[in-house]
Amino acid sequence: MEDSTLNQSHHLLDDLFRLVNTLRGANGCPWDKKQTPESVGIYLIEEVYELVDAIESGDSEQIREELGDVLFHIVFMASMFEERREFDLSQVARTITDKMIRRHPHVFGDAQVSSSADVVQNWHKIKLSEKQDNKKQSLLDSVPAKLPALMRAYRISDRVAKSGFEITETDENLKDPSAVAGGLAAALKNHDGRLASRQFGELIFALINIARLAEIHPESALAGTVKIFEARFKKMEELMAKSKREFNEISLEEKNRMWQRAVEMIP
């Protein structure tokens, strides 16, 4: 990055800091002044999801806007900790810079790698050593408890596998989920809701492990499938609208025909 561009970025960030300080100041916004890191956390999560949606859309204007929203929340949250005299954003930047240098010894040190897989393996080893230094109680302590269940299951499965415990080697159901599916079917047939819920969870976890072994991220795969289904259903609604009839006025057979047309139009 050229010096002029870097200087301009610094000035714009200074403007953002001043904006946040004004919002939190004596004559600022009542809503902003009463916020805490705990209350703002959920908004940050929402903004990150909106950013991911924008990235998937490929709309650069939308991506820029959503990146700005995320950046605002990061600066906003850091300012609250600075008010508590715990740390400021410069210390946050120093911490992540030091961490990235430490975790890239093949770039900033003498370590040798031959592939991205080597990088991932080294990253995990370094992370494990950091956990030992920090006296973590479990390898899984760093997996956020508030992650959506699908993402958290994938992260836990991946974490234990990289630690040398491949769960699919000790649980046959995770290699072949058909047995779990059979148990789910039996539970449903017997109207055993509690067991059905347990079996359904185990089936999802088995599929997540299969996805991990196939190097497929289940969250991305499911998001893609849902997006296609949504597009097909909206197309089906368009076809129904042309018939000038309400949804409940169309027979199931005709709905099926419209659905098949939607599938053909959006493969």
d(CA 72, CA 59): 20
pLDDT at 8 over 70: no
Orientation angle between helical segments 89-102 and 60-83, nearest 10 degrees? 110
Residue 121 resides in a domain:
no
> What residue type is assigned to position 194 of the chain?
R
Q: Can you state the angle between helices 149-162 and 218-242, rounded to 10 degrees?
A: 150
Q: Is the dihedral of CA 104, 109, 115, 119 positive or negative?
A: negative
245 CB-side CA count, 13 A? 11
Residues 30 and 83 in one domain: yes
Is the same domain home to 229 and 209? no
Mean pLDDT on 2-14: 65
| Residue 238 lies in domain | 220-265
What is the tens place of the pLDDT at every residue in 126-176?
877 776 655 557 778 778 887 889 989 999 998 888 878 887 776 766 667
Same domain? For 197 and 250 the reply is no
Instruction: Answer whether residue 123 is part of any domain.
Output: no
10-56 tens-digit pLDDT? 677 889 999 999 999 999 999 999 999 999 988 998 899 899 889 98
Whose CA is closest to 172, among 164, 183, 185, 163?
183
pTM (2 d.p.): 0.63
| Weakest mean pLDDT among 106-115, 129-138, 228-237, 254-263 | 129-138
Helix axes of 218-242 and 252-265: crossing angle, nearest 10 degrees? 120
Number of Cβ atoms within 10 Å of the Cβ of 174: 22
CATH of the domain at 17: 1.10.287.1080
Sign of CA dihedral 115, 120, 126, 132: negative
Overall number of domains in the chain: 3
